A = this chain, B = another copy of it.
Amino acid sequence: MRFQQLMHVRRLASAAATTLMRRPTTGTTATTTMFPVTSHIATTVRTMAGSGAPIPELTQITDNVQRGNYATLTDKDVAHFEQLLGKNHVLTEDLEGYNICFLKRIRGNSKLVLKPANTAEVAAVLQYCNERRLAVVPQGGNTGLVGGSVPICDEIVLSLARLNKVISVDEVTGIAVVEAGCILENFDQKARDVGLTVPLDLGAKASCHIGGNVSTNAGGVRVVRYGNLHGSVLGVEAVLATGQVLDLMSNFKKDNTGYHMKHLFIGSEGTLGVVTKLSMLCPHSSRAVNVAFIGLNSFDDVLKTFVSAKRNLGEILSSCELIDERALNTALQQFKFLNSPISGYPFYMLIETSGSNGDHDEEKINQFIGDGMERGEIQDGTVTGDPGKVQEIWKIREMVPLGLIEKSFCFKYDISLPLRDFYNIVDVMRERCGPYATVVCGYGHLGDSNLHLNVSCEEFNDEIYKRVEPFVYEYTSKLKGSISAEHGIGFLKKDYLHYSKDPVAIGYMREMKRLLDPNGILNPYKVLN
């Protein structure tokens, strides 16, 4: 028993925010994936953004993409855009950063990046492109993990970076209005200035845009507390492919006037319209943050502890993460600076609370831990409200995905599964892969039923690939799970959409696309194939 005494945690909120901000920004949810450059394996990727990985081949070539029937950019088009936006905001050189995805898996061949300053300019650009049949890819912070925000062929990149203002933050109602190109961290800071917080937090917060978050229905580490963006986003302004501005803004939690169409733009990955502005409900920031890192003997105990956390921590529970033994050990082996407070258990959980009263939260979490130990469900662990120690524990969780790719090739999957079957697939996969895999492990957002399943090996291995895919999708589909819990479909997963969506639904998705983007100019080659 090594339970550390809880420390008084009042006024920890800003320190905790710093912790989160310092997480490695390796994608929208701090997961990374690997891929064999020459092979078309949609969900397995080899390189990490920011690493010294080579520039990939053009995706149109490697993936044998048939270019759509779009017009080709001319000098006259460029001149038109220069007149519209000003020369400084029309880029035709050094476009690599806009053409290559965060993971360096996808590389497009766009010759033009446009940087409008406001909704009217976005509308004017799209109206022109629609009339000319020029294809367009909207781009925010370009931190997506499924190739949704980069061109596949020669689409014009429409960067939202200059629509970056926080228009208003209402301390009383908690409602903020923000432009789509505002960086999440900057938005959160503006909210924190008046004692609020943005109900969304993810690894890429220093570079991702709030408009991109909304367009991809980004998940992150606060979903267990604040729910998803469909609940938090109160209004959206979107520019359609035709250039029409669809004003679905609302600053109210209750507004039952007609169809709730804003949700079509939350999670449709820029294929139905370009989100230019939105309003969001921001909760008050928490005064106290505590983190527990605990060891457990079985997945059954993990589930019991999760139920107990929901029941006893209830309103203050803000994160509930699972790491299995192999995932933890791999990270500890790769990163010697990591210091796990406990070892020797098959399962670990990271449980975070955020509340308005540090003493109360401390008492609740101590009670929760004590009861769990008494019942024999929790074996050992650490609980802390000390900002430094909170950061240290989060670091363990954050380095887990990186540990798996540090010196290995890794097949990675982001799936939602029923909690009762949550971990089975890891055992099943371990058996299927046998000696071919070096590590088969699972970790993820237990509180959201979101598993990151990982199969790593020395290098890309076709035998493993065949044993893993499409089995993992079929398995997930049979349990009516989601084959993409938080990353979306983008370019990389569109061939697998049918595992989670029935044909009637996919048919109506196509109809929605036709209705809102009749010429198909918006983010082609994505989501639907």
Contacts and interface: CB of A to CB of B under 8 A. Distances in A.
B314 A284 contact: yes
A221 B30 CA distance: 37
Interface stretch (A134-142, A304-312, A385-393, A394-402): A304-312
Interface in A462-497: 480-489, 493, 497
Nearest to A225: B315
Contacts of A516: 508
Nearest to A262: B263
Contact of A355 (B170, B251, B314): B314
B254 A509 contact: no
Contacts of A224: 253
Contact of A257 (B251, B281, B501, B515): B501
Contacts of A341: none
Interface stretch (A2-10, A108-116, A357-365): A357-365
A506 interface: yes
A264 B256 contact: no
A268 B244 CA distance: 23
A72 interface: no
Interface stretch (A81-89, A226-234, A323-331): A226-234
A303 interface: yes
Interface centre among A217, A253, A480, A528 (most CB of B within 10 A): A253
A195 B312 CA distance: 12
Interface of A: 170-174, 195, 216-217, 219, 223-224, 227-228, 230-232, 244-261, 263-264, 266-268, 272, 281, 283-284, 286, 303, 306-307, 310-316, 355-357, 360, 363-364, 416, 418-420, 445, 448-450, 480-489, 493, 497, 500-502, 504-506, 508-509, 511-512, 515-516, 527-528
Shortest 9 CB-CB distances between A and B: which pairs?
Answer: A231-B231, A263-B263, A314-B356, A315-B315, A252-B416, A255-B482, A257-B500, A254-B485, A360-B360
